[in-house]
Structure 1
Amino acid sequence: MKKLVSLIGALFLILVLGILGFVFWQSPSYKGELKLSGLKEEVEIYFDKFGIPHIYAENESDAYRALGYIHAKERLFQLEMMRRVGSGTLSEFLGPDFIEIDQFFHTLGIPKHAKESNAAFMAQGETPWKKAADAYVSGVNEFIQNGKLPVEYLLLGEKPRLYSLEDMHSILGYMSFTFAMGLKTDPLVTKMSRELGPDYLASISVQTLPEHHVIPNHYPDSLNTENLLVTSELSALLEKLPVPLLEGSNSWVISGSRTQSGQVLFNNDTHIGFASPSVWFEAHLEYPGFSFYGNHLAGIPFGLVGHSRHHSVGLTMFENDDQDFFEEKLNPSNPNEILIGEQPFPIKSRKETLKVKGKDPIEFEIRETVHGPIMNPVVKEIATLTSNPISSWWVFVLEPSRAMEALYQINHAESMQQVADAAALIHAPGLNIMYGDKWGNIAWWAAAKLPIRAEKVHSKIFADGSDPESQPKGWYPFTENPQSINPPSGFVASANNQPDTTRNGIFFPGYYYPGERWNRIAKTITSREDWDLESIKSLQLETVNEVSVENAKLMLSQIDRRQFDEHSQILDELALWEGNHKLNLSAPTLYYKWLYHILRLAMEDELGKDGFEAYLQTFMMIRSTHHFLKHEENKWWDNRSTDIFESRSEIISEALAISLEELSTQFGENSREWDWEKAVTIEHPHPLGAKKPLDKIFNIKTEAVEANEEAVNKLAFKLNSEGIYKVTSGPAMRIILDFADVEGSVSVLPTGNSGNRFSKHYADQKELYAKGKYRPQLMNEKTIKEKSLSKILLLPHE
């Protein structure tokens, strides 16, 4: 009866929303005339087959005002969620379930930093980037005041407040936090170090290992830029965020020496948590002297990724370590001071007030040392590890962000030097800026302000805040940052892996991936010299992981096959596996189940269930697995809860027996029916989709994809005991551009360009994406205007 009532309620809600959509919203209009405040001239906006706006204006201000209006029209609720996260005001909008998240972001300092960055931005005066940002904000607010609000506001009983430049900096703060890996990793590494010791750490990859692949540097003499001086509870908290986390990325740029056309070939696919709508909003702007096709974050007027007719810029996560944690020593004679050596330093305190929907406001205290905010009250992993104050020293909040200026300059750059100068303005988060142009240049810059640490400081283990020798020592100049400009190899590539030693001898620490994707990219690119837009697609869509093959062979070498005679067929298939993840294969189904149980049996007795789950969600799991498996003397093999000493072969054999039994129950006795497709699910969740039955309305599901751990076309999932793998992140777009035909570039988004549930462009790219297909990024004016399905004409108010 309860299920029936629930079903009737769900059907009723769907019916009501359907009626509301038909009567009030319908499919949002992509045609007609509108008057827009502040316009100087008419603006034409043409929409192509996939709802990409092509904006034609007579001046810069009108172009960005129009972009703001259209961006809000298509992505206002996404903008709302992102600014609420970055400003620490989710609970005001969504209720008390988000109080802990708001307190966490306020303590970390992101809302405070947004205010400081905005003040610095305003203090620059009427710069070109401020004028463009102001125009964009005005366009957003025009829609908020006069447009049809998305249905999400009706369901929540809310209305949006006006957008501001401070909100814009809050969104950049949200983005920067998603790149910060320290809070997700360092408490766990510290726990391992303190409770287990160096022998256990030696069997995992806390730092980059010799067998990992590094990005080669190539420093030019001619290009110079200005020198600029755990448990799983946190992961569970972050899973409540109504916006996706930025997680990784691939990008490579091939010089004309290796392409069929003799021109540069540019590729980028940023890896971001799946969401509905997906993160990137595509828009094409044209006004006299400017032509740019960009991928935008909601609320940001300048493309983080994009291309003009003469240059293209992409990004991946640098993954540099820019956050340290200091364990403080309280002054015995004054608990409101810490000691560094014998010198006391005050602990400052400030009050923050949270507005909570349906509740009274909450006031809470944030305490800060000279190293940064004390995180114990908002990070349970830290609170359970020590009672001493732990301060977060995070590069991002140490100085105002100049990201808005940098992005404007990158979008409007006329040369490689101008992009390098703009990249030098980005102090955090760490980004790999990828570059190619029509003049044949290719480049990669690791953009970040890199701290000089004391030799005794391990960047992933809590430092002794009272030791004068453990304090930060300054900054490396940007010109020494990892980079490669027109290298002899004929390509630059980054895949979140470790850059090689810089010319000043620094092997900078970070949360880097092992380089398996980079190695596949590098080997493939150097295998031929006639690449073009069509042939390079096979690399961008590849789901092969060579290291998984090595792991599988090692695992098979540790078992006595005679004990598993009845499963010889699936073991033979795994032995012949080439590391691809085709949906009709059974080898991946066994491999990931077996790997999970190996790691669980080896590590759960030391870390506990929650600690083990936390480990599975760190970068360490991916880059440690091969090293972990091949290390026979690995301390983790022994189960500390038993009196006997368990060996590697015993743990691996036991894990296989458990896996085969579970798979037989899950998919049947016949292993030929254990297709990878049956173990994979993919869904793009909407913020309201967490409440059933709204998931049926807002979330987007697609057919199964070739999910994998660390292939070039990385479609990531978490290892788990259930053996059903929900793909949670992947390429947030796939871009390919040949400078022989800039107007023929292609891309695809995971869902669609619109965030409006009633738009025909809400999910019109999902099948293209799932099937590995592309659609054009139109820039030819004649083609756009002739093939456009609809047009909006924006008129100035008289």
Structure 2
Amino acid sequence: MRILVRIILFFGGLVAALMLIGAGFWLWAFWGTKPDTSGQVRVAGLSGDVTIVRDEHGVPHIFGETEADVFFGLGYAHAQDRFFQMDMMRRYVQGRLSEALGERTVRVDARNRIRGYPNVAAAAVANMDAETLAAAEAYTAGVNARLARGTPSPEYRVMMFNPSTWMFRPEEWRLVDTASVVVYMADSLAAGEDSEMSRRRLEEILMPDQLAEFLPEYPDWAPTMLQAEDYAERAATPADNGLPANEVQPDVDEGSNAWVLSGEHTASGAPLLANDPHLSLSAPGIWYFAHLALPDGHVVGATVAGAPLVVLGRNDVSAWGFTNTGFDVIDLQVFERGELEIAERTEMIPVRGGDPVELTIRQSPIGPLLDPDYFAIDAYGDVDVVLQSTALDMSNDVAGVAYRIMKSRSWEQFVEAGRGYTAPMQNMHYAHIDGTTGYTTAGLVPLRDGNGRWTGYIPYDELPRVRNPVSGRVASGNNRIAPDNYAHPTPGEYAIFRAVRINEQLDLTARHDLDSYETLQMDVLSAQAARLIPAIAASEPQTVEGQRARDLLADWDGSMPVYSNEALIYALWYRAFARALYGDELGEDFPRFIGRREGLVDNVLVGGETRWCDDVTTPAAENCAVTVGVALDAAMATGIAQFGPDIDNWSWGSAHAAVFDHPVFTGMPLLDGMFTVRQPVGGDGSTVNVAVYPMRGDSFDVFHGPSLRAIYDMSDLDASRFMHAPGQSGHPWSGHYRDLAPMWAAGENFEMRTDWTPENAPEGSNTLVLRPGN
């Protein structure tokens, strides 16, 4: 009996010891890496005290006597809250992820080394002017001051459990790392590479007339961002280069919104500007809000951890918001073997836990040759395929442009600040307290000859631009930008229905205010669905469930809030209709090309291109009423299998959640729940409050949505409203890791005011003082 008791006590003690060790590890890994947000810290590299006051939402308000000290403070705060994210971004661009994460990222590293991103980042450092360089150097010193105090993120300690990532430690920050973050943004927003490959394959599957319908041009009934009246005095006939003047495709649901109204359309009599850029959702998110109290004025808005720049925001006199232009700025150029002069070099990709991978990179005068081992270019045959991209231009001065925009004090300075910008090509909406509103673009837009070869770029002073438009409005939902009387071709990919809805809602109110802007940013009524409802109402489903779905949608207005069961039925139908509509034509390639296909679907069900409704695999000639009904029957069968037979209890939010993925730990047992953030949301890829889910598969998880929302009030800039998600901090044990996600989903917001000092900071703030010294 004593032996048994001793055994029990032994194993009980062993279990207790293991539990204590485990608890100690988690405390060491997580609690030990939480940022210190209050107190005083001595750091090297400062000329005077820097005060970082984090408000109740974790937003740092940074005060210092010199500009360099303020940027140092921003670097310190970024490293406190977001260093692992910064590390992953720089490694992605530099082709060094596999050093940290092992062989699973070798393909990513190889592709970015072949593209030449590390060289672009190095060139970006060399291109910095003196002021931008000084800001970047001070910022870098601030990052490294935090690193000198120990591990800044729990990921480094958690990854010690994995033998392949053992001893993975943070490295010091360098200027080229800041430049890499800028290149990362260009990579995420540049358009053209995937579309080129997809079109090549579609040309093999579809007849030319089918391809023209499958990839239709932007509809003439949909709005352009700029109006012909604003180009009347400078109207020109687009140059004949053998290409369609507006070879555009309405196939984009991933984008951004922005609109600006002049004072004649606002309640205050001063301009209002709204911006909500749509990006891939992640934990932490791409943006980090900050207020920089610089000696020559305040700058407030969204920074990207890794760079000392307020990319989207406002200063004391103006505000700016960006959306992606959608211009085609990437081509895959095809050459016969031997036609180009090629230089080769060999690089080694270090792989943690494995052998290094040797990579041969072939470079032509216009861009890198794509290696079929890493790029899906088999459809091009036995030729050299060259990637030509504005994102690879070595004159990249995007960091300097962002710095000069922050400092601009007038429309003229704002426009001039963009000179030297390369990529990503952006729509830039502008408002000033003097009443000026405007729109400009910055970046390189290729000019092409009849063979698609690049002959140069649209001159900067001839890019789409307008100051104080006649209508008093510039509204962007990633729709087509230029009117027909613009002098240059602008091929690209543009969305349709968000811009339609934005303009409709702006028309409904004579005098807009912050609240009406906020309501529009959160709008979840699909203008696309509203146009398709008559076709659904006229359909011929064969099952009882399909008929009930038809009847429910026939009385629906197209609104997609989280509580709607009609929204879920519609989403199930839209996915099933894609297969019924073009799955027969595409065959085994259908999974690759399934998408929202807004233009195609609208042209078929509203515009009368009904031949697509016929199932070419059957002898009968199906009409659209039959095909829409077949999709309703299939959708309801799928929905009942997934969500149960009680349709009244279905809700869009139960199936449709925004998922903020962690770059490493999402999907891993135990860690997923700690690092991944999920939040039910309404809307879909066509709504103003966009929420893009994959068309392929069974999941409706949202992977792309509003990365931030901002509304800038020129009558009182401190009353401007902001929100992003999931939170300011990248540390999962911080109260600011996921606190903003429910607020973001509900349409709430907060102010980032500049009318207080560290001495009278709002209640709930935490103050950290950095002091010079070792």
Residue of structure 2 aligned with 1:517, choices 493, 498, 509: 498
Q: Which residue of 2 aligns with 1:752?
A: 727
Residues in 2 aligned to 1:45 and 1:155: alpha-carbon distance in whole angstroms: 28
After superposition, the C-alpha distances for 1:404-454 in whole angstroms (9 at most, x for unaligned) are 110110001111111101123212211111111111111111222211112
Report how far residue 651 of structure 1 moved.
Answer: 2.9
Does 2:69 align with 1:62? yes
Q: Secondary structure at the match of 2:456?
A: coil
- Tell whether 2:632 aligns with 1:680: no
Give a deviation string over 1:727-778, Cα, whole Å, max 9, x none. Answer: 1121111111212221122211111111122221111212211211112222
Q: 1:179 aligns with which of 159, 181, 189?
A: 189
Q: CA–CA distance in 1 between the matches of 2:158 and 2:697?
A: 36
CA spacing shift, 1:505–1:141, aligned 2, 3 Å: same
Specify which of 315, 318, 324 is matched with residue 308 of structure 1: 315
In the alignment, structure 1 segments of 5+ residues that lack a partner are 1-7, 224-244, 331-336, 339-344, 458-469
- Alpha carbons 1:208, 1:498 under 8 Å: kept: yes
- The one-letter code matched in structure 2 to 1:200 is Q
Aligned partner of 2:550 in structure 1 is: 571
Aligned mates of 2:351, 2:519 — CA distance in 1: 50
Structure 2: how far apart are the matches of 1:11 and 1:751?
31
Residues 1:539 and 2:549 are matched in the alignment: no
Q: Could you list the per-position Cα deviations for residues 272-292 of structure 1 after superposition, in whole angstroms to 9, with x for gaps in the alignment?
A: 111111111011111321211
Tell me the equivalent position of 2:437: 442
Aligned residue for 1:258?
A: 265
Match of 1:694 in 2: 671
Q: CA deviation at 1:57?
A: 0.8
Residue 385 of structure 1, CA deviation: 4.5
How many pairs does the alignment contain? 731
- Select 1:528's aligned residue among 509, 521, 537: 509
CA–CA distance in structure 2, aligned partners of residues 79 and 589 of structure 1: 37
Summarize deviations over 1:112-153 as a string: whole Å, max 9, x none: 2112222333xx5xx111111110011111111224421101
Equivalent of residue 575 in structure 2, options 588, 593, 596: 596
Following superposition of structure 1 onto structure 2, how do residues 765-784 of structure 1 map, counting pairs within 5 Å? 765-782=740-757
Q: 1:348 to 1:101 in 2, by over 3 A?
A: same
Residues 1:625 and 2:632 aligned together = no
How does 1:651-666 map onto structure 2 within 5 Å? Answer: 651-666=627-642
* Greater mean deviation of Cα atoms: 94-103 or 663-672: 663-672
Give 1:95 deviation, angstroms: 0.6
Superposed CA RMSD: 2.7
CA deviation string 1:41-90 (max 9, x = no partner): 11111111111111111111111111111111111001011111111111
Q: Specify the SS of the correspondent of 2:214.
A: coil
Per the alignment, residue 145 of structure 1 pairs with: 148
2:347 aligned with 1:369, yes or no? Answer: no
TM-score scaled by length of structure 2: 0.89
**Residue equivalent to 1:496:** 478
The 5 A counterparts of 1:393-542 are: 393-454=388-449, 456-457=450-451, 470-501=452-483, 504-514=486-496, 516-542=497-523
Which amino acid counterpart does residue 683 of structure 1 have in structure 2?
V
Q: SS in structure 2 opposite 1:281?
A: strand
Whether 1:278 aligns to 2:278 is: no
Output the amino acid matched with 2:99. E
1:748 partner SS: strand
1:710 paired residue number: 686
More deviation, 375-384/421-430 = 375-384
> Matched residues in 2 for 1:433 and 1:169: separation?
21
| In 2, Cα distance between equivalents of 1:368 and 1:602 | 42
* Of 423-432 and 599-608, the range deviating more from structure 2: 599-608
Taking every aligned residue pair, what percent have the same amino acid on both sides?
27
- 1:20 corresponds in structure 2 to 28
Q: Report the counterpart of residue 237 of structure 2 in structure 1.
A: none
Q: Per the alignment, do residues 311 and 349 of structure 1 end up closer, same or farther by CA in structure 2, a change over 3 Å counting?
A: same
Shift of 1:695: 0.5
Q: Are the structure 2 counterparts of residues 423 and 697 from structure 1 closer, same or farther at C-alpha, using a change threshold of 3 Å?
A: same
| Equivalent AA in structure 2 for residue 290 of structure 1 | G
Is the 2:428–2:440 Cα contact (8 Å) retained in structure 1? yes
- The one-letter amino acid of 2:568's match is T
**Deviation string for 1:500-551 (max 9, x for gaps)?**
236543341112112x212222222233232221232111110111221212
Cα deviation code 1:645-683 (max 9, x no counterpart) = 554444333222212222233333343233223322332
Q: Is the 8 A contact 1:150 1:756 kept in 2?
A: yes
Match of 2:643 in 1: 667
In the alignment, the residues of structure 2 paired with residue 680 and residue 396 of structure 1 have an alpha-carbon distance, to the nearest angstrom, of: 34
**In structure 2, do the counterparts of structure 1 residues 11 and 773 end up closer, same or farther at CA, with 3 Å as the change threshold?**
farther
Contact 2:200 2:379 in 1 (8 A): no
Shift in alpha-carbon separation, 1:24–1:537, aligned structure 2, 3 A: same
- Which sits farther off after the overlay, 378-387 or 731-740? 378-387
> Aligned to 2:590, which of 589, 609, 612?
612
SS of alignment partner, residue 793 of structure 1: strand
**Match in the other structure for 2:256:** 249
Counterparts of 1:228-243 in structure 2, within 5 Å, are none
**Partner SS for 1:283:** strand
Say if 1:354 and 1:565 are closer, same or farther in 2 by CA, change over 3 A. Answer: closer
Give the CA deviation at 1:787.
2.9
Specify the code of the residue in structure 1 equivalent to 2:593. Answer: Y
Compared CA separation, residues 222 and 203, structure 1 to 2 (3 A): closer
Given residue 672 of structure 2, which amino acid in structure 1 is its aligned partner?
Answer: D
Aligned to 1:207: 217
Q: Note if contact 1:413-1:419 (Cα within 8 Å) is conserved in structure 2.
A: yes
Could you tell me which residue of structure 1 aligns to residue 80 of structure 2? 73
Partner amino acid for 1:794?
L
Q: 1:656 to 1:570 in 2, by over 3 A?
A: closer
Residue type at the aligned position of 1:201: L
Distance 2:320 2:483 in 1: 24
Alignment of 1:1-12 (within 5 A): none
The question of whether the paired residues in 1 share the 8 Å contact of 2:330 and 2:390 is answered with yes
Q: Hey, what's the Cα distance between the residues in 2 that align with 1:662 and 1:190?
A: 33
Task: Deviation per CA, 1:466-509: give whole Å up to 9, x if none.
Answer: xxxx4222222122212221112122221211112365433411
Shift in alpha-carbon separation, 1:299–1:94, aligned structure 2, 3 A: same
Determine if contact 2:391/2:422 at 8 Å carries over to the other structure.
yes
CA distance in 2, matches of 1:493, 1:141: 42
1:368-408 superposed Cα distances (whole Å, 9 cap, x missing partner): 33442222425543124523221111122133211011011
1:142 counterpart SS class: helix
Residue of structure 2 equivalent to 1:389: 384
Instruction: Name structure 2 gaps, 5 residues minimum.
Output: 1-15, 160-165, 235-251
Structure 1 counterpart of 2:6:
none
Single out whichever of 95-104 and 110-119 deviates more from structure 2: 110-119
| Contact kept in structure 2, 1:91 and 1:356, CA below 8 Å | yes
Q: 1:15 to 1:383 in 2, by over 3 A?
A: farther
> In the alignment, which residue of structure 2 is the partner of 1:731?
706
Which residue of structure 1 lines up, in the alignment, with residue 240 of structure 2? Answer: none
Deviation at 1:641, TM superposition (A): 4.3
Letter in 2 for 1:757: P
Question: C-alpha distance in 2, partners of 1:391/1:220?
Answer: 36
Compute the displacement of 1:99 (Å). Answer: 0.4
Q: 1:763 aligns with which of 716, 738, 748?
A: 738
In the aligned structure 2, how far is the partner of 1:595 from the partner of 1:143?
A: 50
Tell me: CA distance 1:504–1:674, structure 2 relative to 1, closer, same or farther (3 Å): closer
* Mapped partners of 2:508, 2:624: distance in 1: 38
Distance 2:557 2:53 in 1: 46
Amino acid aligned to 1:392: L
Pick from 95, 117, 121: which aligns with 1:114? 121
